[in-house]
Amino acid sequence: LLTTARDDARRMSRHILVTGASSGIGLTLCKLLVRDHGCHVYLGARNATKGAACLKDLLAEVPAAAGKIELLIIDVTDDASVAAAAASLKAKGVTLYGLVNNAGVGLAQPGAPNGPEAILATNLYGVKRVSEAMLTLLDPSEGRIVNTSSGVASGFVKTQDAALKALFSGEGLTMETLEASIKACVASGNVGIGNGYGISKAALSAYTILQARQYPALTVASISPGFIDTPMTQGFGARLTPEQGCVSALKCLFEPVTSGFYYGSDGVRSPLTMTRDPGMPEYRGEQDPQQATYNKP
């Protein structure tokens, strides 16, 4: 009981930044982190007016969150905005336990960037920009980074040739080889669904492997939240709730996981070279996973 009390107290002192938190999964995750886990949360939003309205609504729903959640203005595609956000946290003496890179674009968002380069600018390079800016603020003893990828990532990789499958799984992977492969894919129109959404999420999962190698003291994981009913997926038939979309993020924040791995929407390790259905066996690292093992009949 004493150990449990200590663990609870430590969890309640943890500070976590969630980007893209003014709607959908990000906003719900902020609520769960404050309400159910007692964390101090920074609600990252690009638009100050929308972010303030979301914060007001969240506090009305969870009054106990007062004093434990703050709005942080951050546009992940803008160097100055990200630098200012990091500087504001540093000025407060904040040490981050967790960074959830949730901001992303894709599928059918009105006004969202159009084209693979623009989508990559948010879904890959936005994550890179924020992670690098927040690196010195992350707790060197237990800091965690969770990157919101997608099942679309493995759906893209499984259609590629052996060389690209190996690269996106970490073989011969550097930022230079990743960028060269992305450039070649974009030039040939090999960008997956959503005019670049597929390759952007595959690249993010690959970048997570690089982060795990580059920052061995941290725990870094990529996740699929599942096909969640959010503003990003409206009109595509998504039925899962945003709460259901937080399962893998919460696991990768608080439970033992392996840095660099990709976790499915049920919080179970999944392959990067093919899709895995929730509830199917955990991926064990085999080089040539069989579809029947990880997909329901």
Residue 17: alpha-carbon gap to chain centroid: 11
For the chain, what is the domain count?
A: 1
Q: Where are the beta strands (DSSP E) in 87-160?
A: 98-101, 144-148
| Residue 155, CA distances (Å) to 77, 111, 149, 255 in order | 26, 26, 12, 26
Residue 48: which domain range? 2-294
pTM for the model? 0.92
pLDDT, tens digit, 9 for 90 and up, residues 43-52: 999 999 999 9
Which pLDDT does position 106 carry in this prediction? Answer: 78
Residue 98 is encoded by which pair of tokens? 């967790």
Average pLDDT over residues 149-153: 93
Alpha-helical runs (H) found in 24-78: 24-35, 48-61
**C-alpha–C-alpha distance, residues 271 and 257, integer Å:** 15
pLDDT, tens digit, 9 for 90 and up, residues 114-142: 789 999 999 999 999 999 999 999 999 99
CATH number at residue 59: 3.40.50.720
Residue 223 is encoded by which pair of tokens? 């996740």
Residue 66 is encoded by which pair of tokens? 């007062």
Average pLDDT over residues 276-295: 91
